[in-house]
Structure 1
């Protein structure tokens, strides 16, 4: 994590990620300027706390799309000429000018996403993605409650600060990145679009389940299922809910829990829970341990201890 506490706005301004612009102070400085950045291999989560009322004018960097979400002083913040509230979210495209006017010192969060990742997400969600948002800045009413997005962002901030070794391994970063982008776009895009009529639903579902069966101990994500089935997440979501009674996200979560339990029960003598979980993209161990106990009636550490007791030779007990 990059953590920055500045006495004035110049250093703060230079450290901003995914944008390039200038601040003008519109009130006297009242506090330090603070910036926290969590980088997830092509996605950057940024929390800012400004020290004064400001006007910011800038452009998105060529390689990034951004969302902007105030966390305080909503009523004092104007983005693109529109006064914000707790339901509005800002979207900025690469190289397009935008203006943010905050009459009071405010706190905010942004998510900067590489063009490559955004275009890949759009392709995987082609039957629900509005391609027009790729070409213009906008301020829109969030399509769902923003609390889960903010809660996830704060969890990532906490884990990155307290246990960065859990988050910054490839599988964990990819899992966190996918979870964050899903909430960003589900906040931006309508959730009630009419589904298209796709042939071969049973075949699509069979391919998804065959992939899960063929890779029982691999960390799989929605993008893997979409690619293997040559379909969108919306189609998979509809099929899993219709035929299996749960969303593919929940099914993947249960698949991962069972895979981790198998790995724990077959662990080598020197393997730790952290090493095992890292292979499956676990980045929030507290939440994972709670889910594990909910499904299996014991903590992962208890499963590992039981495995080692059973593995001990009788004459060593």
Structure 2
């Protein structure tokens, strides 16, 4: 199984020294905008009137290319991506209607295509599009055999893939927070350990959103089996605090399917496996705050790379900010 530690996709042959993991560009020309996605062959034609304004932001992580593209006008986009790669587009915001390879966009659809075929996209106005590009092999190796078969069928042609509304809303929130971090704190992305953790989190979030659409039967566990599985998952998380495991990592380690794991936590804990992993880590931070010099030290130990999201999640669970908790716990020492 790949652990996403390969070199970034489509590196520039002229790069020297440490890689620049974040790249941001503003444009006023559609051809300049079309050329921003490295490794892609694209052509844009403007359809709506008015001056064009575009922005582009790219993050190169371990084996994963994450991009954000903002375009002000209706465009007709044609192009293709590199062979043996898969692209998954996630619209974050737009006005009006858009059509991807003849299919109407919706708020619950991902744009799915591979290097096998080209694509056509009639994009709406004021579009903010995000997406990932990854090696086909890296994606398929993270899936069960059944899931890999379904995803392989999906990439036979470019198409929109309808997914669970709640899942895609959570994915949008998560991906948007990464764009904000890259814009306001790009220096954080020079940390190699953080880059690996971030890349894995992005990868897992997209995979989990995709595979929830796959309807598979799974054995129902009894109470004792559920409790044991929940305990085993907790032990895995606690055993590697600074590198939170992905869902497929847990499934492989415990020899269970994603659906079995999902059912176990929905019935036994009324939450998703990802929610449980986050709760275990947040509780780990809280325990560590009593002895840590700073909140950042405890957060980093438990693999929280985005301090704003961490503080929000901490307050949602415990009712106070981690800085407030730290101050109170220090007084009790």
What TM-score, normalized to structure 2? 0.76
- Give structure 2 stretches of 5+ with no counterpart: 1-21
Matches within 5 A, 1:1-317: 1-17=22-38, 19-26=40-47, 30-50=51-71, 52-70=73-91, 71-75=93-97, 77-102=98-123, 105-115=125-135, 116-123=137-144, 126=147, 130-145=151-166, 146-166=168-188, 169-189=191-211, 191=213, 193-197=215-219, 201=225, 204-205=229-230, 207-212=232-237, 215=239, 217-221=241-245, 222-267=247-292, 271-306=293-328, 308-309=330-331
Report the CA distance shift for 1:33/1:210 in structure 2 as closer, same or farther (over 3 A). closer
Report the CA distance shift for 1:180/1:128 in structure 2 as closer, same or farther (over 3 A). farther
Please say if residues 38 and 46 of structure 1, whose CA atoms lie closer than 8 Å, have aligned partners that are also in contact. Answer: yes
The structural deviation recorded for 1:18 is 5.4
The structural deviation recorded for 1:235 is 1.7
Report the CA distance shift for 1:142/1:206 in structure 2 as closer, same or farther (over 3 A). closer
Q: Could you give the per-residue CA deviations for residues 61-118 of structure 1, whole angstroms, max 9, x where no partner exists?
A: 235311234432441x22212233434432111242111134x644131312312441
Report the CA distance shift for 1:151/1:208 in structure 2 as closer, same or farther (over 3 A). closer
Report the CA distance shift for 1:276/1:210 in structure 2 as closer, same or farther (over 3 A). closer
Q: Secondary structure at the match of 1:291?
A: helix
Query: Could you tell which deviates more after superposition, 168-177 or 155-164?
Result: 168-177
**Higher CA-based Rg:** 1
The structural deviation recorded for 1:126 is 3.7
Q: How many residue pairs align between the two structures?
A: 305
Write the distance in 2 (CA, Å) between the matches of 1:49 and 1:295. Answer: 34
Write the distance in 2 (CA, Å) between the matches of 1:43 and 1:199. Answer: 36
Report the CA distance shift for 1:134/1:121 in structure 2 as closer, same or farther (over 3 A). farther
Q: CA RMSD in A?
A: 3.4
